[in-house]
Amino acid sequence: MDFILKRKLKYYTKEIFKYFNIAVLAFGLIITMVITKYKPVYKVSISGKELGYIQNKDALEETVKESVMEKADKNVDTIDITTQPEYELKFVDRAIETKEEEVVATVKQDVAITYKYYEIALNNETVDSVDTLEEAEELINKVKEEKQEELDLSIIEKYTEKEEEVKTTELEVAKSDIQTKIAEKLEKIEKQKEEEERINNMPEIKGIKLAYMPVAGTITSRYGVSSRIRKSTHTGLDIATPTGTPIQVVASGTVTAASYSGAYGNLVKVEHGNGLETWYAHTSKMYVKVGQKVEAGEVIAAVGSTGNSTGSHLHLEIRIDGEHVNPQNYLYK
């Protein structure tokens, strides 16, 4: 009995292997036929729109970026495909050609490029821009070494998606620009110091600094003198200068009058606080109005010869608590 079972088992095993081999052979034949007639590709779509077939989906994105980089500026920092392609594995007839270049060209149209560059700033004010951090550092080191002084130079890393905003310059040009700006800055600082020193040396009245001379010119009539054209002694100081010469207010304050006023002609009055007031008479033009706040040195009128006047000049009065005083006690000494 056991002998018979063993024979049957051996027989069925052979049959199974025979049909298995046939199946493998058939499967292999089918695969060979498929490979011979068809090829595996990826159908690429964006937002449901079919772009075409490609061989390698992993290489597509890299190919797109490389293609963009070939034409893009060296300041490109990142390239991102805005809408990611969709892939579907397909077996298609080998006669069908893939459209790698067309797919790449279409995907390229939907990329976001970020550009990077470096600004050089002097006292937080941008002077110039260069392409790389290495160039920026080299530039600052060179300038500081040549100037041999403390300079507030800094590097600002900038990003933009607009290529036209990237306006970098060659290293030597940037160096020249920075040196020019430094020279301008140092000159400005020197002028500021000189101006501060000039103002510090100007007189004060009741704590109000008389920071500016109204005009430059020749004194033609002093305070307190008598004249045939006046009913009383002179209440101010006359400074002859051409018509149209700008008149600067001596100190900050508020305009209290700006109109024609009899013998004074066009008259501007400015209240400075603490009882101090200045008057500017015989002007040809007035550039301010009543109630207007003015800063020391601001142009408020132009020299003229309106009112009781025999020639182009500024009549300047200084009044303290309503009483006129000699302007030459403070100005035009």
Partner residues linked to 78 by β-bridges:
114
Whether residues 232 and 323 share a domain: the answer is: yes
Q: Helix, strand, coil % (nearest 5) of the chain?
A: 35, 35, 30
Whether residues 102 and 162 share a domain: the answer is: no
Give the pLDDT of residue 271.
98
203, part of any domain: no
Give the pLDDT of residue 70.
64
Give the pLDDT of residue 41.
79
Tokens linked to 247: 């008149």
Whether residues 189 and 280 share a domain: the answer is: no
32, part of any domain: yes
Nearest-angstrom CA–CA distance, 20 and 13: 10
Q: Which helix (H) or strand (E) holds 2?
A: helix 2-37
Whether residues 221 and 146 share a domain: the answer is: no
Nearest-angstrom CA–CA distance, 267 and 281: 4
Q: Which helix (H) or strand (E) holds 31?
A: helix 2-37
10, part of any domain: no
Report the domain count for the chain. Answer: 3
Whether residues 23 and 58 share a domain: the answer is: yes
Q: What letter would DSSP give residue 239?
A: E
Nearest-angstrom CA–CA distance, 170 and 151: 22
295, part of any domain: yes
Pairing state between β 86-93 and 111-122: unpaired
Q: Which helix (H) or strand (E) holds 182?
A: helix 171-200
- At which of 109, 143, 172 does a domain end? 109
Give the pLDDT of residue 36.
64
Question: Where residue 239 sits, what CATH number does that domain have?
Answer: 2.70.70.10
Mind listing the pLDDT tens digit of every residue in the chain (333 residues)? 555 655 655 655 666 666 666 666 666 666 565 556 677 878 888 888 887 787 777 777 777 777 766 666 678 888 777 777 888 887 777 777 777 777 777 777 777 888 899 988 888 888 888 888 888 888 888 887 777 667 788 889 999 888 888 888 887 887 888 888 878 877 887 899 999 999 999 999 999 999 999 999 999 999 999 876 667 799 999 999 999 999 999 999 999 999 999 999 999 999 999 999 999 999 999 999 999 999 999 999 999 999 999 899 999 999 999 999 999 999 998
Partner residues linked to 43 by β-bridges:
53, 88
**Would the pTM of this model clear 0.75, i.e. be above it?**
no
Domain range enclosing 243: 208-329
5, part of any domain: no
276, part of any domain: yes
Nearest-angstrom CA–CA distance, 238 and 230: 13
8, part of any domain: no
Q: Which helix (H) or strand (E) holds 66?
A: helix 57-71
- At which of 60, 83, 109 does a domain end? 109
Give the pLDDT of residue 211.
95
2, part of any domain: no
* Sign of the Cα pseudo-torsion (266, 271, 272, 276, in order): positive
- At which of 149, 180, 198 does a domain end? 198
Give the pLDDT of residue 98.
73
Whether residues 46 and 143 share a domain: the answer is: no
Quickly count: other Cβ atoms within 10 Å of residue 14's Cβ: 10
Whether residues 177 and 219 share a domain: the answer is: no
Residue 267's nearest CA partner among 251, 253, 256 is 256
Give residue for tokens 């159908």: 43
